[in-house]
DNA sequence: ATGAAAGCGCTAACAA
DNA sequence: TTGTTAGCGCTTTCAT
């Protein structure tokens, strides 16, 4: 009778079965290529299971976030993936409440014992490695362009940086560090501010996007990268290999993160008795041309035999 | 009785009213920053009207596109915005069919008399201006990294390039032109192929993302931009001002395009008697540091008094 | 085995 | 005015 393309209405199905084969994805910003790649992979994982994700960008605005969560709940989503700038630890009550209604997967931070799943990589260790790599090259004046203090991801990455320096007996100086919003523009401004009071031989940015801002500022000011100043980022978004020069960075396995998050969510949607899990994935230092030894006269490392000018 | 946050289920509402306050957005790729910015603005326009968009990326795959359109229809979307790589003209029957079910807005190409709305800028004129600007600087060996022939947007942009050259009495040579997929990687490869057989003084790419690939390839090969080769793009995505060097490009008013598309869609959703419209927005040449006069010895323009070496 | 009917949460039409 | 009810398109249960 209806061999000719009949597809049941998901609305009607949803009313009856309380399942819509639809989940929500909360991200801060479409323009951050990390999330763009993340979404790409979430989408293809979801598609395999016949799910559709509704993506909402919060612009790091609490009101907008609340609105969207309501909109999503009204649409009876089956689950929610949150790329969150807020700390899980500081929002326990809210998350407990939310997790009562649907499965929740949180990105970039541990679940802190809450009834949610989490997918993240070792931000602390990643930046620590990167910073140690710079230290090993002989850099000592290593600056950090970090995120605002209120963002947990940014905080962890800051701590990795500080730990590496401390290992080399360098106490982290406030003047080494500049805060910035997540965009390349803000990071470019931050670099500007930084350079007015401090002349580093290397700059670490807590995301690739911000590192692009750093490169842009350095290019403006006429510094050579890595001749004068080395630059490192975090994420390994696709264009990190296409900047001029290509960016040294800490690669997160974005595809796996997306895959695990989606997998975890859908499994819990389809069987509530599956328990929540924290999935921790490895990240990895990728060395490209934006980094090299510090300029002559700045080499202070024991690992090189060059005599410094100050000798 | 229910003063405490009652929000009606959109599923139930949708069943009753045949309105879900939800629309679909089809894009080719989240990673293309043009769409990222577009989505950002679509979202905020939609939010003002209480609508939520479901974004699906087709990856320029027809099967996937068909799937998603079905998924969206099953979810009873009220309308659809399509950022489409296919030509409206070559898909009339499909669009007529689709437009019977819901309001449709198509991006980047005219509606060709179909019962849909359209929002676009003058791609032909935009690239023509850019190419004329290069010609005016004295460039004569101007290469083009264009999209595959099957994409209408890419085609129009190619024609603008060809028209400008023809105006200056230059017949477009196949060897000036290289085809590429939309990514920066593909464009970088295409530039590579191009440089093996042709040494331009300027390269125009049909999108900024592709221009980033061009810059990356030129940086690899040790060419100075714009000292050896000038580069131009199209779109003026946000990071176009943050590349090294910053990119000369044809700016599309992405925010307005998104706003108009959303506006147009929602108006038609809420009142079917509002007629479809083609909204054509202006674009504008933005000159940044990636472009300059051709190197000495290559200046052939009548607009300069320099005597060329060949004289 | 096949068929009828109830009900998911709403809204619009109609009755009181 | 306020209250009642039918039905949107499905699935699931229950009766045949």
Q: What residues in B contact A239, CB-CB < 8 Å? A: 184, 212
Nearest to B176 by CA among B209, B149, B140: B140
pLDDT at A173: 86
Q: Residue A99: pLDDT above 80?
A: yes
Chain A with chain B: Cβ pairs closer than 8 A? 135
Q: For strand C, is any atom closer than 7 Å to the CB of B305? A: no
CA of A9 to C1' of C5 (A): 20
pLDDT at B1: 52
Inter-chain residue contact A29 with B52, CB threshold 8 Å = no
Within 8 A by CB and 6+ apart from A310, the residues are none
Which pLDDT value is given to residue B2? 47
Element containing residue A33 per DSSP (H, E):
helix A33-48
Q: What pLDDT is attached to residue A299?
A: 52
Kindly report the bases of strand C lying within 7 A of a protein C-beta atom.
Answer: 7-12
d(CA A201, CA A248): 15
Query: What confidence tens digit (pLDDT) does each residue in B51-60 have?
Result: 999 999 999 9
Q: Are residues B251 and B283 in contact, defined by beta-carbon separation less than 8 angstroms?
A: yes
A74 touches chain B (CB under 8 A): yes
For residue B64, pLDDT over 70 is answered with yes
Closest to B282 (Cα-Cα) out of B260, B297, B267: B260
pLDDT of residue A4: 63
pTM reported for the whole predicted model: 0.94
Nearest CA in chain B to A187: B242
Comparing CA positions, the residue from A206, A208, A191 lying closest to residue A247 is A208
Lowest mean pLDDT, pick from A216-220, A290-294, B34-38, B154-158: B154-158
pLDDT of residue B12 exceeding 70: yes
Go through chain B and tell me how many residues it has. Answer: 311
Residues of B within 8 A of A15 (CB-CB) are 9, 11-12, 15
- pLDDT band at residue B149, thresholds of 50, 70 and 90? confident
3-state secondary structure A176-217: HEEEECCCHHHHHHHHHHHHHHCCCCEEEECCHHHHHHHHHH
Work out the average pLDDT over A280-303. Answer: 83
Does A164 touch chain B if contact means CB atoms closer than 8 Å? no
Contact A306, A144 (CB under 8 A): no
Q: Which neighbouring-strand residues pair with B233?
A: B249
pLDDT at B274 over 70: yes
Nearest one of A292, A184, A83 to B243, comparing CA atoms = A184
Indicate the pLDDT class of residue B303, thresholds 50, 70 and 90.
very low
CB contact under 8 A, B64 and A47: yes
Report, as an integer, the average pLDDT of B64-72.
Answer: 97
- Three-point CA angle B305, B309, B311, nearest 5°: 75
How much is the pLDDT for A62?
Answer: 95
pLDDT category, A311, cuts 50, 70, 90?
Answer: very low
Distance CA(A40)–CA(A97), nearest Å, equals 29
A54: closest chain B residue by CA: B54
Using alpha carbons, select from B204, B99, B220 the residue that is nearest to residue B142: B204
For residues B181-197, give the mean pLDDT.
97
Q: Is the pLDDT of residue A303 over 90?
A: no
**Whether the Cβ atoms of residue A117 and residue A268 lie closer than 8 Å to each other:** yes
Residue B8 approaches strand C within 7 Å at CB? yes
pLDDT tens-digit series, residues A106-157: 999 999 999 999 999 999 999 999 999 999 999 999 999 999 988 888 889 9
Question: Which residue(s) pair with A55 in the sheet?
Answer: A25
Cα distances (Å, whole numbers) of residue B2 to A173, B6, B180? 55, 6, 58
Q: Is A227 helix (H, G, I), strand (E, B) or coil?
A: coil
B17 touches strand C (CB under 7 A): yes
Which residues, other chains included, contact A97 with Cβ-Cβ below 8 Å and sequence gap of 6+? none
């Amino acid at each position: 009778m209806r061999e000719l393309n009949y597809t049941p209405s998901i609305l009607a199905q949803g009313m009856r079965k309380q399942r819509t084969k639809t989940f929500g994805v909360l991200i801060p910003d479409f323009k951050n290529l990390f999330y763009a790649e993340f979404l790409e992979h979430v989408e293809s994982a979801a598609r395999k299971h016949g799910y559709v994700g509704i993506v909402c960008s919060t612009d790091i605005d609490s009101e907008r976030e609340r609105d969207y969560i309501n909109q999503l709940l009204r649409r009876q989503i089956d689950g929610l993936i949150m790329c969150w700038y807020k700390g899980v630890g500081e929002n326990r009550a809210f998350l407990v409440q939310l997790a009562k209604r649907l499965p929740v997967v949180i990105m970039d931070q541990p679940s802190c014992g809450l009834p949610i799943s989490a997918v993240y990589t070792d931000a602390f260790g990643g930046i620590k490695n990167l910073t140690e790599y710079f230290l090993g090259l002989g850099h000592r004046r290593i600056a950090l362009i970090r995120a605002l203090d209120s963002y947990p991801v940014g905080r962890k990455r800051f701590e990795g940086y500080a730990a590496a320096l401390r290992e080399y007996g360098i106490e982290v100086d406030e003047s080494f560090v500049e805060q910035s919003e997540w965009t390349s523009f803000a990071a470019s401004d931050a670099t500007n501010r930084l350079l007015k009071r401090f002349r580093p031989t290397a700059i670490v940015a807590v995301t690739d996007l911000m590192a692009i801002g750093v490169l842009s500022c350095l290019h403006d000011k006429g510094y050579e990268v890595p001749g004068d100043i080395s630059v490192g980022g975090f994420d390994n978004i696709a264009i990190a290999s296409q900047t001029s020069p290509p960016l040294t960075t800490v690669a997160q396995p974005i595809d796996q993160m997306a895959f695990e998050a989606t997998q975890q969510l859908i499994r819990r949607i389809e069987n509530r008795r599956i328990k929540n899990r924290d999935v921790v994935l490895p990240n990895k230092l990728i060395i490209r041309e934006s980094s090299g030894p510090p300029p002559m006269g700045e080499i202070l490392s024991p690992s090189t035999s060059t005599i410094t000018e100050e000798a």
